[in-house]
Amino acid sequence: MIIGVPREVKEEENRVAVTPTGVSAFVSHGHKVLVQKGAGLGSGILDRSYETAGARLLESGEEIWQEANLLMKVKEPQPSEFKFLRSGLILFAYLHLAANEEVTRTLSKKKVTAIAYETIQLEDGSLPLLTPMSEVAGRLALQVGAWCLQAENGGRGILLGGASGVRPGKVVILGAGISGSNACQVAAGMGAYVSILDVNPSKLRYIHDILGGHVTTLMSNRANIEEEVVDADLVIGAVLIPGAKAPKLLSRSLVKLMKPGAALVDISIDQGGCAETSRPTTHHKPIYTDEEVVHYCVANMPAIVPYTSTYALTNATLSYGLEIADKGFPKALREDTALAKGLNTYEGKITHQGVATAFGIHITPVKEVLGG
Ligand SMILES: NC(=O)c1ccc[n+]([C@@H]2O[C@H](COP(=O)([O-])OP(=O)(O)OC[C@H]3O[C@@H](n4cnc5c(N)ncnc54)[C@H](O)[C@@H]3O)[C@@H](O)[C@H]2O)c1
């Protein structure tokens, strides 16, 4: 197969879909890889590293789109790329179609075989290609939260780890899933006083087992949230109810009760955010102050650490990319039910329930498409 790796064109997107290690893997399986010049620069990967790994470098993205059988990208196609979409092309990327009718209808009209990273799902319900970005966002939440607390950003001027003879800061984490537990480990490592809340006792038990003694685990309910949040220096929102909007755990009146200059990093902003005062921000202007609390609500946090994010993402996507390239479509999806859940559009049909429901389009079940 010919695998195409174009440069990302979405604003602020510095990741790349395949690393030189990935190129070597595809080449060793007998495939050909085309990489657009400069595709890895945002992640610190030089063109010559791709060449050494066996890729052919091309100047124009257009040529890559035209020649590739399997096009690997990080983000969904942008309007400037719509003209490259064509019947029979296998597109493998983050697509988030349920939130984007224009891309959904374009992929369907152009009869692209679109496989979305984010809907690949293992039998236990976990989403293996979303997990690495939640890990990055969770760890990053402490870094940006500490920055929000600096005086020049309107914060309380608190160093989370404290100093000898001075109390550490208090970090409250809402949600003990992937991003919350990663935030928790970093917060504890920084020497902050940490409490973490979840509605799922087994998530709390896991944190208690690995960090007990350094972290307070609490059941998430109104009373506990209020008690913890009012004297917090940094609150991290890391909740998720799959397929639904994030629950609003922090009302405006509760945010008002927080300490002036405290900070809120709302990782769950991509699902609407868990505070009534949260609204999406961008890396250009990541923070704003509301009710005297510094809010950081960037929906694509991993984009500011493209090196780590690229490697974390491609560690997870490569094996699926190889499956598709080695077995082709539809065999690869027939033999891997997790990968089959990634199929969103095929031959003009919508094959994912969430996407079909979002736009009132008829769903064609993946099973029907795969036949066999
Ligand atoms: N902003 C970003 O850049 C970025 C990056 C990655 C992920 N995310 C988002 O972060 C959110 C969390 O992702 P994740 O992978 O950690 O999810 P996850 O499913 O691993 O964890 C979510 C946790 O929230 C808990 N929860 C649900 N309702 C709760 C409540 N009322 N109180 C307390 N806990 C509750 C769940 O039990 C679960 O443990 C998602 O919306 C995800 O899309 C954002």
User: Strand, helix or coil at 339?
Assistant: helix
275-281's contacts with Cβ under 8 Å and 24+ in sequence apart are 275/237, 275/248, 275/249, 275/250, 276/248, 276/250, 276/251, 276/252, 277/250, 277/252, 278/237
Q: Are 225 and 250 in contact (CB under 8 A)?
A: yes
Predicted pLDDT at 363: 95
Residue-level length of the chain: 372
Q: Is 177 in the pocket of ligand 1 (CB under 6 A)?
A: yes
Q: Is 268 in the pocket of ligand 1 (CB under 6 A)?
A: yes
Distance (Å, whole) CA 50 – CA 264: 40
For the stretch 71-93, what's the b/e string if a residue is b when 16 or more beta carbons lie within 10 angstroms of its beta carbon? Answer: bbbbbbbeeebeebbeeebbbbb
Among residues 355, 359, 360, 327, the alpha carbon closest in space to that of 343 is found at 355
Distance (Å, whole) CA 249 – CA 137: 20
Q: Can you give the pTM of this predicted structure? A: 0.89
Catalytic pick among 96, 198, 233, 352: 96
CA of 242 to the centre of ligand 1 (A): 8
Among residues 63, 56, 55, 61, the alpha carbon closest in space to that of 28 is found at 55
Question: Is there a catalytic annotation at residue 270?
Answer: yes
- For the chain, 372 residues long, give each residue's pLDDT as a single digit of tens: 999 999 999 888 899 999 999 999 999 999 999 999 999 999 999 999 999 999 999 999 999 999 999 999 999 999 999 999 999 999 999 998 987 899 999 999 999 999 999 999 999 988 999 999 999 999 999 999 999 999 999 999 999 999 999 999 999 999 999 999 999 999 999 999 999 999 999 999 999 999 988 899 999 999 999 999 999 999 999 998 876 788 999 999 999 999 999 999 999 998 889 999 999 999 999 999 999 999 999 988 998 999 999 999 999 999 999 999 999 999 999 999 999 999 999 999 999 998 999 899 999 999 999 986
Distance (Å, whole) CA 343 – CA 120: 8
Distance (Å, whole) CA 23 – CA 318: 9
CA of 115 to the centre of ligand 1 (A): 23
Q: Is 200 in the pocket of ligand 1 (CB under 6 A)?
A: yes
CATH class label, 2-120+306-370: alpha beta
Q: Is 247 in the pocket of ligand 1 (CB under 6 A)?
A: yes
- CB atoms under 10 Å from CB of 260, counted, come to 12
Distance (Å, whole) CA 364 – CA 367: 8
| CATH code for residues 131-304 | 3.40.50.720
User: Which segments of the chain belong to CATH 3.40.50.720?
Assistant: 2-120+306-370, 131-304
CA of 176 to the centre of ligand 1 (A): 8
Report residue 76 as tokens.
Answer: 């969904």
